Every structure is written in structure tokens, then in C-alpha cells.
Chain A
């Protein structure tokens, strides 16, 4: 409360406060919320359909790109003579593993700097 408040004006403000009926107003708000929810759902459905269509149209290119990516990441980093050792270490001895490991180290380093 402020010091320069006039008690009479304050009283008039309190007395003028009306309890307004809630039903119509609340109903209108609910209606608008439901309408918003429906249009939001429609937008999501449309976006999903557009995305599915785009993926379907672009699937040959995407498949090619994925193949190229996999082929470029699979080759071993270190060549080994022993075939069984190559087999055992293959999940780690490839470009993909090196890339993933580098990313994890970078992420930890970044977190350390941030904290």
C-alpha cells in the first residue's frame, strides 16, 4: 500500500468490485481452447503427412547418401594381419568409432569448461 493512498478512493474501488457471472465467460474460454487444440492437431497431422511425402519422394537419394556415409565410416583405421583380431576389434577399429570417441571426449571437455 502506498502512503499517498486516499482511503475514500480506495473504499470506492473496493465497493465497485462486482462478482461477475462465470459460466458464459468460462464456456467461451473452454470453447476457444478446444478450437485451438483441434487446429494444433490438424497442423501436426498435415506436417506429418508432408514429412512422410517428402521422405517417400527423397528415399532413393537418402538411401544413397546413407550408403555412402556408411561406406566412408566403416574402413578400419589400423590395418592388421591377424584376421581374428581384426574381427574382434572391428567395432572399435573403424572411422565411425574414432569419430564417436572424439565427440564424447569433446563433450566431456566442453562440460568441464562450462562447469
Chain B
């Protein structure tokens, strides 16, 4: 018998993953509910476009549903999903050959002091970076991935990753300098 939705919301993730692997669609929906915000935010940071980000996030979850049987370590669903998300984004950019374009898109995006628009300002600032620099910056700051991990998933050389992150950080410091003088922004709803 399949557990009801209340049971699922209380259950440990590894248990829900096991149920989803056995084909339980409610269990998978619970996994989507728990992880959607994270993956959508990651895709928003990477693409800078909420609509495209949601489309790509959908692709990630559909891919996860199709290949959840390949997940060996039930406790590492998050890491596995992150890898799927990164690969989905890389496939998207490779199709458009964006990764070969290392030029910055624009020089400066206006920074605003309004804390509620921080998310948009950050996306605008990220949009001024070239695709490979943005990828490295987002994986590093948003996902907390090490240089080596980023190199593994993006197949870019380690030295390039380091220089992209250094360059991207300097650029973001410049573009988002208005936030230096403001009080610490609160988390937006």
C-alpha cells in the first residue's frame, strides 16, 4: 500500500527516494516539492530568465524520474540532482555554443539598493558575465562547489575555472558595489 501524503511530508528523503524508485509517483512529487525551489533558483542564477529556468528545471525533474533507477546512493539524491541540473544547463548552452563565447555581455548593470530586488539585481549582474564565467561563479557561490568539482562537471581546465571565478568575482564586486553601503539585505519572500 502506498503511504499517504502526510506520511510522505514527514518521511526521510532516502525513504521517499526508495519509494520513487519503485515507481511511486506521489513519492516523486514529494521530492519535487522539496527540491524544486533550490533547482529553480540554481537555474535562474545560471540563465537569468525565470521562464527558461522553470523549463530547464522541469527537464531536470523529468530526467530524474526517468533515470532514478540509476541512482545508487539513496542518501545522495541532492548531489545527484545537482549533477543532473548542471548537465541539463551545459547541454542547453552547448547546443547554442555559448560556452565558447568568453566575452562579457555588457560592462555594467545598474545596482539598486532595494533589498527586495536583490534577486533581480544579482541575475542582471550575472547576465553581464560571459556564459562560462557565470557557470563557474554560480556553481562556486550558489552551490559551494570546489574548483575541481566545477572542472569535473564543466570539463573546463582547472586554471581556467580559477581565472573565471577571480574575474567574475571582481566584476560582481564592481556591479553590485551599491550593496556595500546598504544594511544586510533580508531574505526575499
Q: Taking beta carbons and an 8 Å cutoff, which residues of A are in contact with B?
A: 1-2, 4-6, 8-20, 22, 25-26, 28-30, 32-34, 36-37
Contact = CB atoms under 8 A, between A and B. Distances in A.
B62 A25 contact: no
Interface of B: 25, 28-29, 32-33, 36-37, 40-41, 45, 54, 57-58, 61-62, 65, 115, 118-119, 122, 140-142, 144, 146-147, 162, 165-166, 169, 172-173, 176, 179-180, 184-189
Contacts of B40: 20, 25
Contacts of A36: 62
Given A5-B141, A6-B173, A28 B58 contact: yes
B57 to A, nearest CB: 7
Contact of A26 (B29, B41, B166): B29
Contacts of A30: 25, 29, 32
A15 B36 contact: no
5 contacts: A9-B172, A14-B187, A22-B37, A29-B29, A29-B65
Contacts of B172: 6, 9, 12
B24 to A, nearest CB: 11
B49 to A, nearest CB: 14
B156 to A, nearest CB: 15
Q: Chain A at the B interface: mostly helix, strand, loop or mixed? A: helix
B57 A25 contact: yes
A29 B61 CA distance: 7
A39 B61 CA distance: 18
A10 B115 CA distance: 15
Given A22-B32, A29-B32, A12 B118 contact: yes
A34 B119 contact: no
B186 A15 contact: yes
A9 to B, nearest CB: 5
B32 A9 contact: no
A42 to B, nearest CB: 17
B185 A12 contact: yes
B180 A12 contact: no
Contacts of A2: 140, 146-147, 165
Given A5-B140, A22-B37, A33-B28, A16 B62 contact: no
B61 A16 contact: no
B141 A25 contact: no
A1 B115 CA distance: 25
Nearest to B60: A29
A14 to B, nearest CB: 8
Contacts of A1: 144, 146
